[in-house]
Copies of this chain bind each other. A is one copy, B any other.
Amino acid sequence: MALSMKEIGSFHIGGGPVTLSGLPPRQLVLTQGMGVRAFPQDGDFETGQMYAQYIRLQAPRAKYPLLMWHGGGMTGTTWETKPDGGAGWQSWFLHAGHDVFVSDAVERGRAGWSRFPEVYPDEPHFRSKQEAWSLFRLGPPGSYATRTGHPDGQFPLDRFDQFAKQIVPRWSCNDARTQAAYDALVRTVGPSVVMTHSQSGAFGFAAALHAPDLVRAVVTIEPSGAPDPDAVDVSVVRSVPHLLVLGDHISEDPFWQAIVMRVRRYFDALRAAGGTADLLDLPTLGVRGSSHFPMMDRNSDQVAGLVQEWMQRLGLVR
């Protein structure tokens, strides 16, 4: 089905200048056939920016643009075509009437990254396939070696290597830079719905607390963190509905159980403050085998439909 698109565009937002000095120049061949030349490593640079690409529809049915924020070690490709070649959530939510902004956070993808240890204090972490397999609950413990998944698993395991091509290096020292850029993105776009995945869950909750007048709803897919309700004033986001989406096989995974317990505590506090904090626990609803990446699972359309229903119920889609 054709989409009538009003505009496609992109921009970098956030960050600022940094100047480096005292670094030795390097002898490099940067231009084929032009020989070795000396390149100063000192100079002025930009750092701390993020990247966002937007597609605006000719006739959106959603009241606000949908900002899609990826998780740790990933980029905006999380939301694009699935590793199995099927249409992803960027495409799904466009067809469902939303203007979409798919972004790359600070240090990831088209956002670029900065020299370490001179700008970023630490070196990056390179996530292995072993770590991804286990962290993303693609199979029982120890199943990476045989690539045997959960019997009911929805993730396309025959495309796991294709998925692994999407993984990019990540740092553990850039949370403040990343939050600042996301906050700047929200201020630039204006009233919007924030959809987060995994690591960006914490950034999305904080973005709503920082700009409750602009973040009109938070849809959080398996967030890996949430604010401590004793450390923030949750009443600030009383009028910002939150939806938590959880996949399957969490009850067999102590790491994810601990995370979910913390997120549920935040949601309980939201409800206690008079807010809307709903739960889409997929296995409880009879949707079995969802991985940590429901937007890449074989039944991604089904899960997207449940999220869309919630947005419709709240009047966020006309």
Chain A residues within 8 Å of B, Cβ to Cβ = 2-12, 15, 17, 20, 26, 28-34, 39-46, 49, 51, 53, 55, 58, 72, 75-77, 80-81, 85, 87-88, 90-91, 94, 104, 109-110, 112-115, 125-126, 128-131, 161-162, 164-170, 172, 175, 199, 202, 224-225, 228, 255, 258-259, 262
Number of copies: 2
Return 21 A-B CB contacts under 8 Å, by A number: A9-B88, A11-B81, A15-B165, A26-B125, A28-B172, A30-B72, A30-B125, A31-B224, A34-B224, A39-B125, A40-B131, A41-B126, A42-B128, A43-B130, A45-B128, A45-B129, A46-B165, A49-B165, A75-B112, A113-B168, A114-B126
Which B residues are CB-close (under 8 A) to A34?
224-225, 255, 258-259
**A50 CB to nearest B CB, Å:** 9
Which B residues are CB-close (under 8 A) to A165?
12, 15, 46, 49, 112
B110 touches A75 (CB 8 A): yes
Complex CA–CA separation, A114 to B169 (angstroms): 8
A-B CB proximity, top 9 nearest: A43-B128, A12-B165, A32-B225, A9-B81, A112-B168, A10-B80, A44-B129, A49-B165, A109-B110
Which B residues are CB-close (under 8 A) to A85?
11
